[in-house]
Amino acid sequence: MKIWTEADHQRNALSGQTIAVIGYGSQGRAHARNLKDAGHDVVIGARRSGGSWKKAGDDGFRVAEPAEAAAQAGLIALLTPDMAQAQVYGQIESSIQPGAALLFAHGFNIHFGSIQPRADIDVIMVAPKGPGDLVRRQYEEGRGVPCLRAIAQDATDQAADKALSYAHGIGGTRGGVIDTSFQEETETDLFGEQVVLCGGTAELVIQGFETLVEAGYQPEVAYFECLHELKLIVDLLHEGGMAKMYEFISDTAAYGDLTRGPRIIDAGTRERMREVLSEIQSGRFARDWILENQAGLPQHRALMRQRTEHEIERVGRALRGRMSWLKPKADQSDNAAEKAA
């Protein structure tokens, strides 16, 4: 497997071209600021009536309506939320110059066919493996978040070079760039979110918490054991894999892990993982999510309200309020939880 680094970036395929970043959220703002610091000419595409217009202007960027921004650019990074991208593409399609590149940070809309780009443009992806805040912080510290690169359409025979130059501009070649496909990135990303990183982890935490509380243990103690300490383990895994975790946890914890863990996550769990993967591969999840958006998100809102009103969240807010070192982040997350409720 080839990992592309700074040493591999010999020519800036975006030299002299304007990059339009459409969408100024977590990823969009990070990408735009990194690209600007790397010497690229960046224009932000945003609605004049939206909050992003002022935010991007305050950050020192030229700002234009999406179609106007796209018309100026040799590369258009479409970084709005997944469910907004098809509509935005419809608004900018006629403004995109022949031979320009349309870039995504996630393959959802291309892979599942919600967007079918014109044949005379490059369609590429650079997907940082981290949130926008991390992409920016790592860049400022002289490091970079690893990225995935994919080419869905190469109209100019330069699509791969453009993608690598974009990855280089946001710091990706510092962390390493790995080639993939829109299909592989989309399906593995959705699977990871649903089965392990978000869905699996959140449900495991909640089920563990409820089991202890149901057995008569204090909710505060259950919170510490099932949620608060999770970060300590994840940090060890992130830094050095399983080996580092086993090096730093107790022998008692390791023995419990090795002998009891497989009773919790077992062959039945694996089979359900395969079912979820199958729904992703078949397009069922994508259809469900698109229909949910078209219906106004009734199920999503109801489930989110149920989750944010769970006892573990009420207990957690109270405990985090006493943790001065967490307060800035806790305030942000707790405010978001209150809005969702």
As a whole number of angstroms, the distance between CA 19 and CA 251 comes to 53
Was 149 annotated as part of a binding site? Answer: no
Was 275 annotated as part of a binding site? Answer: no
Q: 3-state SS string over 172-225?
A: HHHHCEEECCHHHHHHHHHHHHHHHHCHHHHHHHHHHHHHHHHCCCCHHHHHHH
Was 141 annotated as part of a binding site? Answer: no
Was 292 annotated as part of a binding site? Answer: no
| Residue 10: count of CB within 10 angstroms of its CB | 8
> Are 33 and 19 spatial neighbours (Cβ–Cβ below 8 Å)?
no
With b for 16 or more beta-carbon neighbours within 10 A and e for fewer, the 143-166 pattern comes to: ebbbbbbbbbbebbebbbbbbbbb
As a whole number of angstroms, the distance between CA 227 and CA 10 comes to 46
Was 132 annotated as part of a binding site? Answer: yes
DSSP state of 44: E
Was 25 annotated as part of a binding site? Answer: yes
Was 181 annotated as part of a binding site? Answer: no
Catalytic residue among 31, 106, 111, 168: 106
Was 24 annotated as part of a binding site? Answer: yes
| Stretch (H or E) spanning 242 | helix 230-248
Was 166 annotated as part of a binding site? Answer: no
As a whole number of angstroms, the distance between CA 104 and CA 79 comes to 6
Was 225 annotated as part of a binding site? Answer: yes
Was 26 annotated as part of a binding site? Answer: yes
Q: Which two tokens stand for residue 122?
A: 């490059």
Was 189 annotated as part of a binding site? Answer: yes
What's the alpha-carbon Rg for the chain, to the nearest Å?
A: 22
Q: Is-catalytic flag, 106? A: yes
Write out the catalytic residue numbers: 106
Can you say which residues are annotated as belonging to the binding site? 24-27, 47, 52, 132, 189, 193, 225, 229, 250
Can you say which residues are annotated as belonging to the binding site for substrate? 250
Can you say which residues are annotated as belonging to the binding site for NADP(+)? 24-27, 47, 52, 132
